[in-house]
């Protein structure tokens, strides 16, 4: 992500509309906004420290790109958890600016192990995003 940022002169951005997912994030305590309609190349599967933007709001976030292997998913989704907001953004245009990759996608033994890892990812993203400037 650092190289992409340097080459672009800005963070790599995906934009789309927030749609409904499987609501698993909410049951784990980490509700996510599911980006749909992002017709472009997106970063590889994994977890990223990001900034999310809609309307005139910009918040730090954690974004997962992957197939949800813990739940035997079969399609790639782009899910974003807002660190500083619980806003209802369903149906709204959403932009995600990718700052840094945290880890690769992996399968966990179950929801409890996944929940523990998400909490660690949130902590790592919080540290990363506190050290960088939000997108303009």
CATH number of the structural domain spanning residue 111: 2.40.30.30
Phi, psi of 51 (to 5 degrees): -120, 135
Say which DSSP state 70 is in. G
Phi, psi of 95 (to 5 degrees): -120, 140
Q: Is position 82 within any domain?
A: yes
Q: Which of 68, 47, 71, 46 is nearest to 128 (CA)?
A: 47
Mean pLDDT of 32-57: 87
Q: Which of 76, 86, 75, 46 is nearest to 63 (CA)?
A: 46
pLDDT recorded at residue 51: 97
pLDDT recorded at residue 113: 92
pTM: 0.85
Q: Is position 48 within any domain?
A: yes
Q: Total domain count for the chain?
A: 1
What residue numbers bound the domain in which 8 lies?
2-130
Helix, strand, coil distribution of the chain in percent, nearest 5: 25, 35, 40
Q: Is position 136 within any domain?
A: no
């Amino acid at each position: 992500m650092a190289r992409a940022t340097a080459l672009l002169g800005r963070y790599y951005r995906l934009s789309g509309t927030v749609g409904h997912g499987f609501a698993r994030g909410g049951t784990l305590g980490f509700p996510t906004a599911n980006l749909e309609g992002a017709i472009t190349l997106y970063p590889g599967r994994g977890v990223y420290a990001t900034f999310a933007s809609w309307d005139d709001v910009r918040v730090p976030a954690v974004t997962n790109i992957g197939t949800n292997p813990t739940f035997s998913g079969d399609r790639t989704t782009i899910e974003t958890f807002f660190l500083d907001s619980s806003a209802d953004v369903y149906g709204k245009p959403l932009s995600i600016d990718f700052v840094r990759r945290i880890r690769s996608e992996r399968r966990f033994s179950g929801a409890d192990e996944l929940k523990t890892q998400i909490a660690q990812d949130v902590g790592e993203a919080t540290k990363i995003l506190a050290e960088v400037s939000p997108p303009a």
